[in-house]
Amino acid sequence: MKVSTAEEMRRIDRRVQEEYGLPELVLMENAGSHVAEAVETLAGGRAEGKRVCLIAGSGNNGGDAFSAARYLVNRGARVQVFLAGEKGHLKESPAVMFQALEHMAAEIHPLEGDRDWDRLRLSLRFADVIVDGILGTGFSGELRKKTLRLIEMINEAKKPVLAIDVPSGVETDTGVVGTAAVKAAATLSLGLLKPAHFFGSGAGLAGDVSVHDIGIPQELLTAKEIHQSLIDEALAKTILPVRPRTVHKGSCGRLLVVAGSRGMTGAAALASTAALRAGAGVVTLASGESLQDVFAMKLTEVMTQPIQENEDGHLGGAAALDQLTHLAAGHDMVLIGPGLGRAHETMELVRCLGTAIKKPVILDADALYAFRGQAELLKEFHQMPILTPHLGEMAGLLGTTAEAVRQDRIASARAAAKDYQSIFVLKSECTLVAYPDGDVFLTTKGNAGMATAGSGDVLAGTIAGLVGQMQGALAPLLGVYLHGSAGDLAYAAKDCGLIASDLVDKLPEARALLANEYEMLA
C-alpha cells in the first residue's frame, strides 16, 4: 500500500477531477458516509440517540464533516455542528455541503461571541463522540489563537474523538506537533495513509488509524509518482526467498562480520547470530585476536577469525586491512560495525576496507561513525552500501542534529540516499528504508519494547544475513519486516522486558509465519 504526502494527495484530487471528470463533491460525499460510519463505531455501534459534536473548518476537511453530519442526522443522532472558520470563507464544495445541512434544519453554530463558545463547551461536555474536521492535511506551521483554543477545549473534554485524515495540529508529512494537537481515539484516513500516522507525536495522537476508499480510481492510488509505500505483509511475501531442495550452505550466502571490541562483544555476537537466524548459510566473525576466547564461549555456529590488533587492543593498520580484505574475498557480503569501537586507527581501517572490497557492504553502528564528515566516500564503494543508522548516527553523517532529522525523517533519508548513492535504513519508532531513486518504505511492524540495547545490532545482522539469499537491494525491506515481526512476537511474551536476544530467537518464527502464509496463497 502507498502512503501519500499532502502534496501528492492534492495532485491526486486534481487528477480525479481533470482526467476522470469526477466532481470533488462526489469524493466529499463518500468521505462523509465513511466518517458517519466511524462515528457510529466509536459510539458503540449505532448513531441513534447519540450526541455528536462536529467541529468543521472552512476547507475540504470541514466539508467532509458537513457531509458526515447529514448522514448522522438521518440516522437519528443528536448533531451539533460548530463552524471553526467563517461562513463566507468556505470553499466551493464545503459551501455546498454546508448549504445542504442548513436546509435540513440541522443545528449549526458559528464561533463568534462568548455565548457561542459557552454553547460549544456544553456540547463537548455532553457529547458521546467529537468529530475533528478543523484543519486536515494542509496544515503546517503555527496554530491561530482560535484554532488553539478549539484544540485545547476538545482535549479537555476527554471524550472519544474521531479525526478526519490527521488530528488537527499535526503536520501531515512529518507527524510534527507544534503548539498543540487534537488527541484522537481514532483517525479515518481518506484514500491513502499519511506519514503522520507513523512518525513523531502525530502517530501517538492518531489513535486507531483506518484508511477508506472514497472512490478515487485505483490507478491513481498506486501510481509510481507516489514515492512512499508500506513494508507490509503483502510486500514481504512477494520478496521472501523460497529455498529449493537442492540448496546448500554456500548458496545461502557467506557473510563476513567485522565487529566487536573490548567491552562490546555482545553487539558482534548478536549481529552474527541474527544473520544465521535470518537464514545465512555461513557466518564468520572477524574480530581482535584478544577476543577469541570470549567469542569461543559466546558462539557455537558462528566461525571466528582473529585479526591482528595494535598494542591498545584496537583494530587498525596495514596488516589488519590485508587480513580483512583477503577474508572478504572469500565471502559474499560484509557487515561492518557492531561494537567495533571508535579508535582513530579503527575508523581509518573501516574507510579503507569499505572502499576496497568489491562485495555488498552493510555499515552499522561504529562503522557509520567512520564516515562522519567524509560521507562522500560512500559513493566510492564498488557496490551500493546499505547503512543502518539511528537518528543520532544519521545526524552525524549529515552534519546536523538528531532533532533536525527527527523533524522530517523521510526527507532526510531520501536526500541522503540520493546524495551518497546508498540505501539508508533509518531506525526510529517507525523504521524506514530509503533508496537513491527517491522511493521510501515505512515499516508496519515493531513496538515500544524493542527500545532496548542490541536491537539495532540484530537488525543489521538480519539484513546482512538476507543479502546472500535474495536480490541484495531488497534485503533491507524483508530484514526490517522480519525484525519488527520478531519484535512483536517477543513483545507478546515478554512485554517491555524483552531483550535483543529475544528478537534473535523469534526470527525463525517470524520467517516461518510469513512463509506459511505465502505457501497457503501460492
Q: Tell me the sheet residues that pair with 80.
A: 53, 107
> Is the backbone of residue 373 left (phi > 0), alpha (psi -120 to 50) or beta?
left
Q: What is the pLDDT of residue 178?
A: 86
The reply to whether the predicted model has a pTM over 0.85 is yes
CB of 340 within 8 A of CB of 365?
Answer: yes
Angle, helices 500-521 vs 475-494, to 10°: value is: 110
Same domain, 101 and 159: yes
Examine the pLDDT at 418 and tell me if it is beyond 80: yes
Say yes or no: 305 and 358 in one domain.
yes
Number of Cβ within a 10 Å radius of residue 213: 12
Residues 194 and 279 in one domain: no
Look at residue 321 in the predicted model and tell me its pLDDT: 98
Residue for cell digits 453530519? 69
For residue range 110-154, list pLDDT tens digits in order: 999 999 999 999 999 999 999 999 998 989 889 999 999 999 999
pLDDT at position 141, please?
87
Tell me the C-alpha distance between 364 and 380, whole Å: 18
Give the pLDDT confidence score for residue 150 in this predicted structure.
Answer: 97
Residue 290: give the domain boundaries: 233-239+246-521
Judge if 263 and 196 occupy the same domain: no
d(CA 367, CA 257): 12
For the segment 349-354, the average pLDDT, to the nearest whole number, is 98
pLDDT above 50: residue 166: yes
Query: 173 with 310, same domain?
Result: no
DSSP reduced 3-state for 149? helix
Q: Are 99 and 72 in contact (CB under 8 A)?
A: no
Say if 297 falls within a structural domain: yes
Per-residue pLDDT band for 491 (boundaries 50, 70, 90) equals very high
- Which grid coordinates are listed for 211? 484508511
Contacts of 308 (CB under 8 A, 6+ apart): 289, 317, 319, 320, 323
H runs (alpha helix) in 2-59? 6-20, 24-42
Q: In whole angstroms, what is the distance from residue 324 CA to residue 432 CA?
A: 31
- Of 196, 226, 256, the residue that ends a domain is 226
Give residue 72's Cα distance to chain centre: 34
Asked whether residue 151 falls in the same domain as residue 258, the answer is no
Instruction: State the CB neighbour count (10 A cutoff) for residue 324.
Output: 25
Same domain assignment for residues 170 and 214: yes
The DSSP code for 390 is B
- Please indicate, yes or no, if residue 416 is contained in any of the structural domains: yes
The burial of 499, by beta-carbon neighbours within 10 Å (0-12 exposed, 13-18 middle, 19 or more buried), is given as middle
Boundary-marking domain end, from 191, 226, 261: 226
- Rounded CA separation 21/167 (Å): 30
Specify the CATH number for the domain of residue 153: 3.40.50.10260
Residue 517: the pLDDT is 61
Quote the pLDDT of residue 86: 86
pLDDT at 107 over 90: yes
- 114, with CB counted inside 10 A (0-12, 13-18, 19+), is exposed
Residue 71 lies in a domain: yes
**Residues β-bridged to residue 305:** 286
Q: Closest Cα to residue 183, out of 206, 199, 164?
A: 206
Last residue of a domain, one of 194, 226, 258: 226
Q: Calculate Rg over the CA atoms of the chain.
A: 27
First to last CA, the chain: 20
- With 0-12 / 13-18 / 19 or more C-beta atoms within 10 angstroms meaning exposed / middle / buried, residue 415 is middle
Residues 276 and 133 in one domain: no
Q: How confident is the model at residue 520 (pLDDT cuts 50, 70, 90)?
A: very low
- For a pLDDT cut of 90, what percent of the chain falls above it? 94
| 205 and 251 both lie in a single domain | no
Rounded to an integer, the average pLDDT of 355-364 is 97
Q: CA geometry: angle at 65 spanning 60 and 71, to 5°? A: 130
DSSP 472: G
Residue 101 lies in a domain: yes
Residue 503, in any domain of the structure:
yes
* 113 and 53 belong to one structural domain: yes
The answer to whether 55 touches 28, Cβ cutoff 8 Å, is no
Q: In total, how many domains does the chain have?
A: 2
| Distance (Å, whole) CA 335 – CA 362 | 5
**Cβ 331 vs Cβ 256: under 8 Å:** yes
Give the pLDDT confidence score for residue 516 in this predicted structure: 85
Sign of CA dihedral 16, 19, 20, 25: positive
pLDDT tens-digit readout, 363-380: 999 999 999 999 999 999
**Which has the higher per-residue pLDDT, 251 or 521?**
251
Q: Please report the beta strands in 290-407, taking only residues with DSSP state E, as ranges in sequence order.
A: 303-307, 333-336, 361-363, 386-387
Question: Domain for residue 1, yes or no?
Answer: no
How far is residue 60's CA from residue 135's CA, in Å, rounded to a whole number?
9
Q: How far is CA 497 from its chain centroid?
A: 23
Residues 6+ apart with CB under 8 A from 118: none
The domain that holds 389 is classified in CATH as 3.40.1190.20
> Rounded to an integer, what distance in angstroms lies between the CA atom of residue 366 and that of residue 346?
9
Check whether residue 198 and residue 333 sit in a common domain: no
Q: Kindly state whether residues 432 and 516 are assigned to the same domain.
A: yes
The partner residues of 163 in beta bridges, in order of sequence, read 132, 187
Task: Give the orientation angle of helix 318-329 with respect to helix 344-356, to 10 degrees.
Answer: 30
Would you say residue 450 lies in a domain? yes
Least confident stretch, 46-50, 226-230, 476-480, 513-517: 513-517
The pLDDT of residue 522 is above 50: no
How many H helices and E strands in the chain? 20, 17
**In 3-state terms, the chain is what percent helix, strand and coil (to 5)?**
50, 15, 35
Average pLDDT of the residues of the chain: 96
Q: Is residue 26 part of a domain?
A: yes
SS (H, E, C) 155-214: HHHCCCEEEECCCCCECCCCCCECCCCCCCCEEEEECCECHHHCCHHHHHHCCEEEEECC
Return d(Cα 130, Cα 184) in angstroms, integer.
9
Task: State the average pLDDT over residues 260-271.
Answer: 97
